Amino acid sequence: MKLLRMGMPEPRYVVEPLGKHHQKSGFSCGQEALETYLLRQASQDVKRRLAQVFVMRPLNNHRVAGFYTLSAAVIQARSMPKVLVKKLPQYPLPAVLLGRLAVDTQFQGQGLGKLLLVDALKRALAASHSIAIHAMVVDAKDAQAKSFYEKFGFIAFSDLPLRLFLPLKSVQQFAEP
């Protein structure tokens, strides 16, 4: 999926499903757990249908500049802020989990994290037309990551301050026709 919008300059990166042709070695984001996941576990998770892994790469090569994962999840309405749950059922709500998101240090500072998040939201929104998805959920690694997601409207769960969600209804208003 190309990151192209009308009136915007031609993209320099593409986001696509992880494949054998992608150059994962050398990926370094400053978080050992995320680096190890991409190098050793991501392909296995895709094969076992535990997560879909999407990578961002420059158009001119296959080096991984960043990646994210998506998988199915459920959330409990009782964990959400009370003002948001008044009209929601009290059984588990369908969600999509943004399990991991990372940008290689050589590509940081260019807004690629934001582009990866927008791509993930677009994919979740597209899937929600076929399969019910109430919200996207993310587990922030730390306060800095939490702040990143909050800038995009993610809201912390009442009982888990580093677990955040974004109702897809709020994403839909920004979706392109």
pLDDT tens digit string along 149-170? 999 999 998 888 899 999 988 8
Enclosing H/E stretch for 28: none
pLDDT tens digit string along 100-119? 999 999 999 999 999 999 99
pLDDT at 11: 65
Q: Which of 73, 64, 76 is nearest to 101 (CA)?
A: 64
Q: Which residue has the higher pLDDT, 106 or 5?
A: 106
pLDDT at 88 over 90: no
Q: Is residue 84 within 8 Å of residue 93, measured between CB atoms?
A: no
3-state secondary structure of 50: coil
Question: Where in the sequence numbering do the catalytic residues fall?
Answer: 149
| Residue ranges per structural domain of the chain | 13-172
Arithmetic mean of pLDDT over the chain: 88
Q: Domain 13-172: give its CATH superfamily.
A: Gcn5-related N-acetyltransferase (GNAT) (3.40.630.30)
3-state secondary structure of 168: helix
Strand pairing category for 135-139 and 155-156: unpaired
pLDDT at 77 over 90: no
Q: Which of 80, 82, 104 is nearest to 93 (CA)?
A: 80
Mean pLDDT over 137-147 rounds to 93
Query: How would you class 177 by CB atoms within 10 Å of its CB: exposed for 0-12, middle for 13-18, buried for 19 or more?
Result: exposed
Q: What is the pTM of this model?
A: 0.87
